[in-house]
Amino acid sequence: MKYYATIINEKGDIAVDDTILIKDSVCTAGSYILDGFKSLFSAEAVTRLEDKGYKISGKTHVGEFGLDLVGEFSYYGEKEEKLSGAAAGLVSEGKVSAALGVDLNGATRRAAALSGVDFLKPTYGTVSRYGVISTAASGEQIGVYAKDAKKTAEILSVIAGHDDKDGTSLPDETYEYAVDKDIAGKKVCIVKELFDLADEETKKKVTSFADALKNKGVIVEAISTDIFETANIAWQILMCAETCNNISRYDGVKFGHRTENFRNIDELYLNSRTEGFNFLTKAVIFYGSDVLSKERYKDCYDKSLRVRRVVADKFKALMKEYCAVLLPACGKSEYKSYDITEAFGKVFEEGKFTSLANLIGVPALSTCGVQLIGDHFGESQLLSLAAAAEKEVLA
């Protein structure tokens, strides 16, 4: 199996997605618009790993700006037989022990589920976003791919902690993540609406994971709620708007791709961007511009901000009773390729499972082909649930 990656160090053990900057390396976020762009500095997460003696092996390709479903539509990649993120693939094959990825709308969690590895998106603000090729600033977060819960906890403990260079970074200097927290007697819920959306194979994975938890004394209950669906709509709006704004800096003037076909500044902008972005990115730009326009702002963007607060309140209430929500990471266990013109709709469809965690900044762990979403700072709880269940499920 071939995964697209740029090797930096043959002896390296950690892969880094191309949406995260490494000093003096070409960093494109999978987009032709950043063709040849070399970063002048490394992301804080990368620096922290290197400071602790971890060696970065290279950059793994991502879908353009990480916007697609599992990371297949990169300008630099070709369609592979096994379609999932390169980083998840490399971890799954044991080429690296862990990888860093940016979770923007759950693509990293889906890729991990499809490759049978873990991906943990921590609480928003725990890992510095300094050095992330930013798209949707209010919900994107660096997370960790690894083979099991223990390794995930180890790497996350290294990269998490306050950073002055990121204004949204939380004040805690360090975080220690554990995989051995008490889980017996704790309650986990399964959301009926989302369970029903999944295919048979995925349902089976959720059920067997739930059974494994029950064997360890966890109480699993089914509940009914519409907050995941609502959260998805709000997040798609915010994500497109913020992404449209953040990538508007790629204009052909300063770095990256510049068209050869222009007579004035308007044509330079238009043609550079037309040539530089793929179909999905353009769809996001159109949608994002639209929801921010004077006519639509109040009903779309502003409303989504209010929905974010309502969803957060409702989720908090849910977390008073349960320590985590158990749900599919993606609706289908076998991923099939599709045309990029369908990508926008697909991302929206699958977002029902993943968007909530981005919208309100709670941690989400993709493990054993399923997903656990917990309360803010509930990472250790999620990892402990995963550690308890993984042996039985994977056996």
Of 76, 195, 255, 348, which one interacts with other proteins (CB under 8 A)? 255
Closer residue to other proteins, CB minimum distance, 255 or 377: 255
Residue 373: enclosing H or E segment and its boundaries? strand 370-374
Closer residue to other proteins, CB minimum distance, 167 or 185: 167
Q: Residue 18, SS3?
A: coil
Query: Residue 151 interacts with other proteins (CB under 8 A)?
Result: no
Of 269, 338, 348, 377, which one interacts with other proteins (CB under 8 A)? 269
Amino acid of residue 226: D
Minimal distance in Å, beta carbon 18 to other proteins?
11
What is the spatial distance between Cα 338 and Cα 336, in angstroms, rounded to a whole number? 6
Query: Residue 27 interacts with other proteins (CB under 8 A)?
Result: yes
CA gyration radius for the chain? 20
Query: Residue 130 interacts with other proteins (CB under 8 A)?
Result: yes
For 17, list phi and psi in degrees, rounded to 5: -60, 150
For 321, list phi and psi in degrees, rounded to 5: -100, -40
- First-to-last CA distance in the chain? 24
Q: By rule CB under 8 A, what count of residues binds other proteins?
A: 40
Residue 208: enclosing H or E segment and its boundaries? helix 200-215
State how far the alpha carbon of 115 is from the alpha carbons of 5, 30, 80, 275, in Å. 17, 20, 13, 32
Minimal distance in Å, beta carbon 229 to other proteins?
23
Of 5, 45, 112, 132, which one interacts with other proteins (CB under 8 A)? 132
Query: Residue 171 interacts with other proteins (CB under 8 A)?
Result: no
Closer residue to other proteins, CB minimum distance, 83 or 137: 137
Of 84, 106, 115, 119, residue with least CA distance to 351:
106
Of 59, 121, 129, 151, which one interacts with other proteins (CB under 8 A)? 129
Decide: residue 268, CB within 10 A, 0-12 exposed, 13-18 middle, 19+ buried. Answer: middle
- The span of 39-47, 142-150, 320-328, 384-392 binding other proteins (CB under 8 A) equals 39-47
Query: Where does this chain bind other proteins (CB under 8 A)?
Result: 21, 27, 29, 34, 37, 39-41, 43, 129-134, 137-138, 164-168, 241-242, 245, 248-249, 251, 253-255, 265, 269, 289, 292-294, 297, 301, 305
